[in-house]
Structure 1
Amino acid sequence: MAGVSKKAGKNKASSDHVIALNRKAGFDFFIEERLEAGLVLEGWEVKSLRGKRVNLTDGYVLVRRGEAWLLGCNITPLSTASTHIRPDPTRTRKLLLQRRELSRLIGAVDRSGYTVVPLRLYWKRGRAKLEIGLAKGKKQHDKRADKKEQDWQRQRERLLKHRV
């Protein structure tokens, strides 16, 4: 174990804790700032998260009356969910943020035209956390430029690989 660095082990452990990613957010938005928020969940939702049955791509965060809410996030209930409840997969879930972070989000959304998008859902010390991003929307030409840059990076890696 002496040959294994702590950094490599830490990266592997953090990737195991990721429940879901919103890859579409990086394509559609410029992510300016990232924040960590807690989630208010019901029991069947936690079980579904453990089974990684969640979709963040259609989700968005709405800041209303001094609180942040996650809308459009689909958590598919397990077939073994309790029979005495009626699970709603797309219900509105409250986000838990500190007052300072919340006021910064409210100011950015109201004044500067930013939007708040969910980026990543993961476990941290046994609790589900949502990484949200303060983002500006990309225009079509921005997306084309990003695609061109990705293609160039891929081609450059191929050229360097063959050169060595």
Structure 2
Amino acid sequence: MGKRDGKDKANGGGTIAQNKRARHEYHLEQTFEAGLALQGWELKAIRAGRANIGESYAVVRDGELYLFNAQITPLITASTHVVPEERRTRKLLLHRREIDTLIGRMQRDGYTLIPVSLYWKGNKVKAGIALARGKQLHDKRAASKERDWQREKQRLLRRHNKDA
């Protein structure tokens, strides 16, 4: 009948993989949605949940964006005539205007392109990529303290509401 709760039943729904380390290592400024040029065996492996973008990054070559070091582990039964390469370079698909914007910000302002997530949109695989700037060690410590304080505050509020 269609989609329910933002999930696509046929493809397992929602998010495929997330780069959780990205939020810890970088200040994420602006995110973009990019398509991925995939081969058939890669799509089958992604449906089986075999994607990892934890150590991946995006690079500009000849005016095009490419995703490096994203791991899609092949299924044994996926292909008999193609030799799968799990960490191959994959092309990111964006509009020319968006690519030009990203290239300008990277060269002018010193940003890095970091893949944040892989997810389904309809029957297509999309990559969320973010313009990011690296965090210094003291920034990471401050974020960690803030996260710990929020957690402790929630505990105290729960305990207070439970006693009341």
Normalised to the residue count of structure 1, the TM-score between the two structures is 0.91
The equivalent of 2:142 in structure 1 is 145
Hey, what's the Cα distance between the residues in 2 that align with 1:135 and 1:153? 24
For 2:77, give the aligned amino acid: T
The equivalent of 1:120 in structure 2 is 117
The unaligned stretches of length 5 or more in structure 1 are 1-8
| Structure 1 position 157 matched with structure 2 position 154 | yes
SS of residue in 1 equivalent to 2:91? strand
SS of residue in 2 equivalent to 1:10? coil
| Structure 1 position 106 matched with structure 2 position 98 | no
The equivalent of 1:87 in structure 2 is 84
The equivalent of 1:10 in structure 2 is 5
2:68 to 52, 66, 71: 71
The list of structure 1 runs, each at least 4 consecutive aligned residues, that deviate by more than 2 angstroms after superposition, is 13-16
For 1:90, give the aligned amino acid: R
**Deviation of residue 10 (structure 1)?**
3.1
2:22 to 22, 25, 45: 25
Deviations 1:13-44 (A, max 9, x none): 38932100110000000000000000000000
**Identical-pair percentage:** 48
For 2:62, give the aligned amino acid: R
The unaligned stretches of length 5 or more in structure 2 are none
Hey, what's the Cα distance between the residues in 2 that align with 1:43 and 1:120? 20
CA RMSD of aligned residues (A): 1.4
Hey, what's the Cα distance between the residues in 1 that align with 2:79 and 2:39? 12
Hey, what's the Cα distance between the residues in 2 that align with 1:39 and 1:16? 17
